[in-house]
């Protein structure tokens, strides 16, 4: 039990602290390289085998299209794209002109950031006009890891785990306002924002990034051009080609549009300070002038080969994003991004303090009280408390549509709910006003005709987190299901909503309170929210 408790506490701590950093806490941390990539494709369920794609033929920029589309229409489209590229030349440089430096202070800021990036930048070698490869320094067997070798390893790790940064921006709403306020703003997006001085410049950068012709997949690895690392397969990798997938600009990858919006916001922000840094770094390190549209287009459409164990190709878009996030973390994080609250977090780091005792039960009660009247679908996406003032069933951001299907169907229609609590709210009887303890033991009904909490609070709370689109919540459940099945000697589990609901409904007793895994998991997730921790005292 202590080992499981420690693992849960570490997960909670890492989940909570990660929300406070736009670029990602521990951006340079190294995983256990002996374990290799954790390909969780089996967890992404496919309802049926995809139909064979129509006959395809490679055209133009490396994308694939149906055979019938290779026609005069394709040629006309190519001419339009070439004309559009020429039109963009009039708007360059869009990442910032190095000659437009306002004062000595800005020059000093740039030099500090560039010096920081030089220390992190790994050596690369050109393969052709557009593509490069990461270069590992020669090392004799038995020698220690020197600074240069560790720099390459850290760069490889960051590119492999770039999804950890993009996930935090999936539901940012408007990326510019996210940068300005440090919190997610779901009411509008970067294409409609008029609240920030950099709005128009960010939209120009975004439109240009959207005009780039980056293939959905690189043929060498067969995976997504943006997520070829394989540590967290996007839908493009997990599901593969579909008959209709060719009509989707970015295929099935959920990261590409986010990467473009992140880059547009970061490069436009603060009078394009980071855009100018990128311009200078690219010229200095790779001899590429991105103030020229053709050079910038060729550069951004290139890629980097990551050699070594688990070799893959990374789009230059990912490499540029890594540089910009590193620069942002170095220059801005300590000043403009609110640090995660530590009250309570330190208690959770030590599992002996708040696990399997009365203090854990107190945390259950605090979580349930805080969740009353709030939407866990929006909470799971990292929105602030002021954006959570509605229930899941009234959520117009996608939460209400989750009722009656998937995990919700398992609970409400198939009966996968806790059996040892109140039959109305499914919470422990200790937390329900319908029940009172007898002096000699057992429970008796009170005169109250209502539960203390909403009858939907527990199940809807779990459904909201589980379906909000943040991968960590489903991953937490999958880990627990796997551990439970192995401990029960049931072999490797089959991951689906039924398996998740079955585990969540398992009974649990802590400090004399009969509850369920559902109550414990809802409390863990709630305590991992910045919005919850911000209002917690003592």
Same domain, 478 and 530: yes
- Domain assignment of residue 32, yes or no: no
Nearest-5° Cα angle at 169, 167 to 174 = 160
- pLDDT tens sequence across 289-309: 999 999 999 999 999 888 766
Higher pLDDT, 386 or 38: 386
Same domain, 236 and 362: no
Percent of all residues in the chain with a pLDDT value above 70, rounded to a whole number: 69
Predicted pLDDT of residue 89: 65
Same domain, 406 and 442: yes
Closest of 226, 78, 86, 111 to residue 165, by C-alpha: 226
How many domains are there within the chain? 2
Give the end of a domain, one of 307, 336, 365: 336
Cis peptide before 4 (omega within 30 of 0): no
Same domain, 132 and 255: yes
Query: If you ran DSSP here, which 8-state letter would residue 50 be given?
Result: P
Closest of 514, 512, 489, 517 to residue 411, by C-alpha: 517
Largest CA distance in the chain: 87
- pLDDT tens sequence across 150-175: 888 888 888 877 777 888 898 999 99
Q: What is the mean pLDDT of residues 363-369?
A: 95
Same domain, 382 and 515: yes
Predicted pLDDT of residue 505: 94
Contact predicate 418/521, CB 8 Å: no
Contact predicate 65/74, CB 8 Å: yes
Same domain, 187 and 223: yes
Same domain, 232 and 364: no
- pLDDT tens sequence across 55-93: 444 444 444 334 344 455 555 555 555 555 556 666 778
HSE of 112, CA atoms in CB hemisphere, 13 A? 12
Phi, psi of 149 (to 5 degrees): -65, -40
**Which three-class secondary structure state does DSSP give residue 384?**
coil
Confidence check: pLDDT of 335 > 60 = no
Rounded Cα distance between 524 and 8, Å, is 9
Give the end of a domain, one of 288, 314, 336: 336
Residue 396 binned pLDDT confidence (cut-offs 50, 70, 90): very high
Same domain, 330 and 203: yes
Same domain, 324 and 355: no
Same domain, 251 and 387: no
Confidence check: pLDDT of 145 > 50 = yes
Predicted pLDDT of residue 183: 87
- Domain assignment of residue 35, yes or no: no
Give the end of a domain, one of 318, 336, 354: 336
Rounded Cα distance between 445 and 433, Å, is 9
- Domain assignment of residue 20, yes or no: no
Rounded Cα distance between 108 and 331, Å, is 12
Confidence check: pLDDT of 506 > 90 = yes
Closest of 472, 132, 180 to residue 306, by C-alpha: 132
- Domain assignment of residue 380, yes or no: yes
Domain assignment of residue 464, given as a range: 341-534
**Average pLDDT of the chain to the nearest whole number:** 77
């Amino acid at each position: 039990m202590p080992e499981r408790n420690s693992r849960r506490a570490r997960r909670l701590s890492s989940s909570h602290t990660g929300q406070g950093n736009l670029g990602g806490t521990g951006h340079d941390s190294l995983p256990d390289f002996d374990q290799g990539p954790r390909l969780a494709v089996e967890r992404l369920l496919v309802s049926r085998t995809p139909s064979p794609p129509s006959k395809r033929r490679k055209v133009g920029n490396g994308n694939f299209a149906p055979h019938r589309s290779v026609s005069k229409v394709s040629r006309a489209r190519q001419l339009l794209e070439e004309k559009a590229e020429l039109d963009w030349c009039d708007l360059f440089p869009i990442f910032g002109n190095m000659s437009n430096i306002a004062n000595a202070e800005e020059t000093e800021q740039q030099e500090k950031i560039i010096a920081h990036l030089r220390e992190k930048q790994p050596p690369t070698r050109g393969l052709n006009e557009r593509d490069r490869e990461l270069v590992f320094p020669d090392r004799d067997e038995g020698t220690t890891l020197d600074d240069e070798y560790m720099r390459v390893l850290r760069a490889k790790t960051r590119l492999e785990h770039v999804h950890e940064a993009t996930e935090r921006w999936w539901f940012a709403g408007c990326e510019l306002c996210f940068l300005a306020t440090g919190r997610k703003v779901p009411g509008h997006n970067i294409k409609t924002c008029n609240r920030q001085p950099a709005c128009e410049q960010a939209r120009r950068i975004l439109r240009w990034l959207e005009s780039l012709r980056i293939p959905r997949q690189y043929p060498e690895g067969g995976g997504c051009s943006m997520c070829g690392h394989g540590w967290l397969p996007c839908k493009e990798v997990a599901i593969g080609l579909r008959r209709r997938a060719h009509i989707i600009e970015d295929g099935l990858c959920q990261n590409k549009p986010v990467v473009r919006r992140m880059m547009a916001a970061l490069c436009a922000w603060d009078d394009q300070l980071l855009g100018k840094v990128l311009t200078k770094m690219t010229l200095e390190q790779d001899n590429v002038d991105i103030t020229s549209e053709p050079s910038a287009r060729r550069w951004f459409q290139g890629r980097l080969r990551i050699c070594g164990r688990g070799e893959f190709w990374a789009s230059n878009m990912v490499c540029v994003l890594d540089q910009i996030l590193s620069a942002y973390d170095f220059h801005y994080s300590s000043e403009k991004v609110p640090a995660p609250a530590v009250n309570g977090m330190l208690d959770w780091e030590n599992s002996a303090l708040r696990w399997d005792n009365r203090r854990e039960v107190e945390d259950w009660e605090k979580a349930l009280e805080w969740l009353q009247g709030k939407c866990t679908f929006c909470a799971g996406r990292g929105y602030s408390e002021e954006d959570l003032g509605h229930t899941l069933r009234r959520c117009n951001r996608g939460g209400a549509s989750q009722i009656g299907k998937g995990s919700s169907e398992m609970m409400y229609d198939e009966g996968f709910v806790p059996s040892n609590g109140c039959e109305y709210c499914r919470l422990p009887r200790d937390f329900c006003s319908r029940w009172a303890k007898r002096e000699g033991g057992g429970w008796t009904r009170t005169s109250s005709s209502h539960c203390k909490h909403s009858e939907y609070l527990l199940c809807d709370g779990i459904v909201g987190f589980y379906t909000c689109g943040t991968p960590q919540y489903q991953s937490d459940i999958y880990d627990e299901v796997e551990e439970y099945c192995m401990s029960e000697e049931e072999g490797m589990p089959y991951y689906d909503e039924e398996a998740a609901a079955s585990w969540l409904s398992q009974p649990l007793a802590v400090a004399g309170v009969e509850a369920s895994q559902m109550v414990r998991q809802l409390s863990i997730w709630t305590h991992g929210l910045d919005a919850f921790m911000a209002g917690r005292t003592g």
